[in-house]
Structure 1
Amino acid sequence: MAERRNEQPPSDSRRKFLKYSGTAIGGAVVGGVIGGAIAGGFRKNPAAPAPAPTTPGAATQTADFNQAPMYFNQFQMQITEAAAERIYPKDDIGPGAAELGVAFFIDHQMASPWGINAREYRIGPFIKGEVTQGDYQIIQRNELFTMGLQAMEEASKKKYTKSFIDLTDEEKDAILTSMDKGEILVINEVTGKTFFNLLRRVTLEGVYSDPVYGGNKNMMGWKMRKYPGNQMVYTEIMEKSEFVLMEPRSLHDHFATH
């Protein structure tokens, strides 16, 4: 995994992260949010006649209409999913970014007002600041992201003569590492490091945000950390000294029951 390239193996590092973060959270936690892609799999059924047509307007219980692209094209979704999976890979603790639907979360963010920096000051001059000042760029986040994906794809073809999605895990890590070091240029003075920081940020947000935003599928990201999600009240456990394991709740659960 790119962000752990100079440390221990991804699964070992992630195992410790989940262990210690769970300990730090403690018993009573205030609910809130941090800011395979398609659920289910396939079940084998015995041969049977075709089902009767459903009533017009009726939706299947397993349908998840939040798992749909709003900004990326198909290839951009694939490369985003492949990159996010290397930042948060599947291991023996639980699913990775791909299975958690993180690519859909990122896609939805890019299609949102946040993706076009709608609530930020956008009038120049656009001057390169100090390292401690952060980025202030003329291009929007969604533009930066799609340009970063394209730069990553071009770097993959130049170095390995293959698309990023066809690289081995080690080769993907090498490209992401070059991005993180700023060795790959995205546009003008915008280096790959700026893109990588954005990619890493939205990947982790997609793992741990409320499922209504597209990621954290089936709240599996929360379940790995024993995080309760968006509970309405904690009055029954607030005075308990031991850690209380609660079934996580999404904002969707509250909307569905009220």
Structure 2
Amino acid sequence: MNRREALFSLGTIAASLAVAPSLSAAELKGVPHETQLSDDHLPKPAIRTGGFLVLSAVERETLGAVYDRLLPADEYGPSATQAGCLEFIDSQLAGDYGSGKALYLDGPISPANELKLMGTPQFLATPLVRYRVGLEALLTYAKRHFSKPFAELSPAQIDEFLTKLEAGDVDLGAEIDSKAFFELLLQNVREGYLSDPIYGGNRNMAGWKMIGFPGARYDYRPYIDRRGENLSLIPVSLIPAD
């Protein structure tokens, strides 16, 4: 499975759920006031002030070079940076995600035990710190092995590096689990490419158009009986219409 097929498989699952033929809706009445959505459950638009919030120019260049090899531009759609994935992750790292608000970050921690119990490495560092330390390590690695900044490496060199990073075969220092760092980068670039544009990525809904996902439509009842048909629906974002 190539990179774009991986994205397509995720979108196909979401789209199939959206038009499931056996679903029906009923109006709810007398719902207790206490069950209404709180602010924590409402979508929070990406914070844009005309520039980036936490990522420095060098960090953006380094991360952009990685993102654009994970999701390069081709005949199916734009690259990760063209689709706004840097803006997406910058806004996320500047908020609750970057500060690890939803994570348990207190010690003690035993890497071997945590991996056995949780099935994945656990970290005390916040996502923002992991990005900062990881991107700095990429710069150091590139200068040591190629005598140039990471962003100036050729596509073939970056692909080879990412392949080794994914396998955990790159030594980026004692503080960094290289395989886990790759998985973090891949997860976030996917999220930026396929999330609602209200969060800064998926510019012009390019990711949704590529996989045929109809977006945040309010009502699918007109299409319930059209199973197996290509509806060719134009994606709809959570961004309020003018």
Does TM-score exceed 0.5, indicating one fold?
yes
- Structure 1 unaligned spans of 5+: 1-6, 8-12, 31-63
Q: Does 1:223 align with 2:209?
A: yes
CA offsets 1:205-256 (integer angstroms, 9 cap, x no match): 111000111110000000001110100111211111222111101100xx33
Secondary structure at the counterpart of residue 222 of structure 2: coil
Instruction: Compute the displacement of 1:15 (Å).
Output: 5.6
Q: Distance in 2 between matches of 1:163 and 1:237?
A: 51
Residue in 1 aligned with 2:106? 123
Q: Which residue of 1 aligns with 2:152?
A: 166
TM-score, normalization by structure 2: 0.78
Distance 1:130 1:28 in 2: 33
Q: How does 1:16-27 map to 2 (within 5 A)?
A: 16-17=5-6
Distance 2:15 2:176 in 1: 41
Helix, strand or coil at the partner of 1:123 = coil
Alpha-carbon spacing, 1:147–1:16, altered in 2? closer, same or farther (3 Å) = closer
In 2, are the aligned partners of 1:156 and 1:164 still within 8 Å (CA)?
Answer: yes
Instruction: Report if aligned partners of 2:208, 2:215 keep a CA contact under 8 Å in 1.
Output: yes
Q: Which has the higher helix share?
A: 2
Is contact 1:66–1:213 with CA below 8 Å preserved after alignment?
A: no
Q: Separation in 2 of the partners of 1:92 and 1:99?
A: 14
SS at 1:230's partner residue?
Answer: coil
Aligned residue pair count:
211
RMSD between aligned residues: 2.5
Retained in 2: the 8 A contact 1:151–1:184? no
2:74 alignment partner, one of 69, 85, 91: 91
1:138-174 per-residue CA deviation (whole Å, 9 max, x = no partner) reads 2111101111111111111111111111110011112
Pick from 48, 57, 72 the counterpart of residue 55 of structure 2: 72
Stretches of structure 2 that go unaligned for 5 or more consecutive residues are 20-46
Alignment of 1:204-243 (within 5 A): 204-241=190-227, 242-243=229-230
| Matched position secondary structure for 2:109 | coil
Q: Does 1:29 align with 2:29?
A: no
Whole-angstrom distance in 2 between the partners of 1:102 and 1:147: 19
Residue 109 of structure 1, CA deviation: 1.3
Contact 2:63 2:135 in 1 (8 A): yes
Q: What are the Cα deviations for residues 165-198 of structure 1, in whole angstroms up to 9, with x where unaligned?
A: 1110011112222322323344535321121110
- What do the CA deviations read for 1:13-51 (whole angstroms, capped 9, x no partner)? 346556666666666726xxxxxxxxxxxxxxxxxxxxx
